[in-house]
Structure 1
């Protein structure tokens, strides 16, 4: 695929009109949400959905998240249980994706659900709900990067791997959370956390009045973002490092060790040890060291609590064997 990728500031008066025009023609647009930039296509248009997989180099068995304009639109696409409805009403718009039984006649292209009987739905903050509302159809939108690479939190990150592969990028500056949405599914026992994210398990349990289950390691793919190797920069990643070895790049958290001077290059997710700040900076840090000049990356330990669960999940996938 080789085309000219145009870039428009999100506050340009023509930005949303142009995005709707491009999407209605079956082409692709990168749009910022509060989590990361999404690679958007009409979820009912086979050419657009196939274009997403082609642009990303994404395995066809990995389903896509559909973004909606409203709860009413979501209910036309999926069957909501009472608990799913509670979560949607509490956390939408926001960084929560719900995996629900797809409704008969939903009109989604089969590639969106990747052969599963469920569909992943989200109503994000940002321009996507308005775009979906103007089109009166859901927007399929995985992260706007080549599959398995670092998720994009700026328009520059999008263009690094997708320039020439998509028609348009709406530049809204850095995203707020910098970490993809929490994903919750439902089984016979109730809600299950399929992917940790900005809405943490304690938030979900408080709203539902009961504990949320966890996905069993090694179970079949049921939602986006569950591949073992994902979010990977070019070089190898060493986790829970107390200090950088000579020649390694360093991604710190909290006070840096004295040996940081041995690092080839260094950044810190949050010198004060704030997990929210670290989550917002994670993909930008991985993206900074995503290239052949940075063959080895060491990452400081991140507490495995609250948002740290989601951060460690992404780091584990970044470090997985490829």
Structure 2
């Protein structure tokens, strides 16, 4: 396990892109601080820059470095995280109005985030417009004709029963669900309780 984590961190430090299993679907992951890695993810996915890539962090403290989080939002995030809920918040990062953040509920990912000490850009491991790949074979098939490919794919088995994360906009009230996914009921109940 430690050898794998060292290899992954070495790739991330060299502007690389790694496919990792997550608590939702397989993800393309790269350093949040690398413009080259960001461009590489977009090239692999075949996607333009119109949609921002979500970010993985390992703790709420790291999320607060990237986004403005008030007391009520922090209470909500403590219910949602770690878990399969991506939250859009007002950004502290230069040239970004908003930022989508998640703390994943996955031991390997959390260990990588802790040791890498930087946030990770992430998006589902599939070509833009296609369904997320559920296993390594599907990932390799989707990207086989790509000129730009991920640097490494970590096999986490078959993730066929998983869904994308639920996306919640916490930038203004009323808070809104933008995409239904995993943990949708938890999000719905939490938001109903707050607005009651």
TM-score by length of 1: 0.56
Kindly indicate whether the alpha-carbon contact (under 8 Å) linking 1:84 and 1:98 is maintained by their aligned counterparts in 2: no
- Cα distance 1:155–1:189, how it changes in 2: closer, same or farther (>3 A)? same
> Can you list the C-alpha shifts for 1:56-87, whole angstroms capped at 9, x where unaligned?
11121011010011111111110113332122
Residue segments in structure 2 that go unaligned for 5+ positions in a row: none
Partner of 1:207 in structure 2? 190
- Which structure 1 residue ranges, 4+ long, deviate > 4 Å from structure 2? none
Partner of 2:42 in structure 1? 53
Partner of 1:171 in structure 2? 155
Residues 1:38 and 2:19 are matched in the alignment? no
For 2:116 and 2:19, the matched residues in 1 are separated by: 16
Q: CA RMSD in A?
A: 2.0
- Cα distance 1:177–1:119, how it changes in 2: closer, same or farther (>3 A)? farther
Kindly indicate whether the alpha-carbon contact (under 8 Å) linking 1:36 and 1:177 is maintained by their aligned counterparts in 2: no
More helix by share: 2
Q: Rg larger in 1 or in 2?
A: 1
Q: In structure 2, which of residues 102, 110, 114 is the aligned counterpart of residue 129 of structure 1?
A: 110
- Cα distance 1:28–1:104, how it changes in 2: closer, same or farther (>3 A)? closer
Partner of 1:184 in structure 2? 168
TM-score by length of 2: 0.89
Residue segments in structure 1 that go unaligned for 5+ positions in a row: 1-11, 111-115, 213-322
Partner of 1:81 in structure 2? 70
Q: Which has the higher contact order (CA 8 A, sep 6+)?
A: 2
Partner of 2:141 in structure 1? 160
Please state how far the C-alpha of 1:89 moved relative to its aligned partner. 0.7
| Aligned residue-pair number | 191
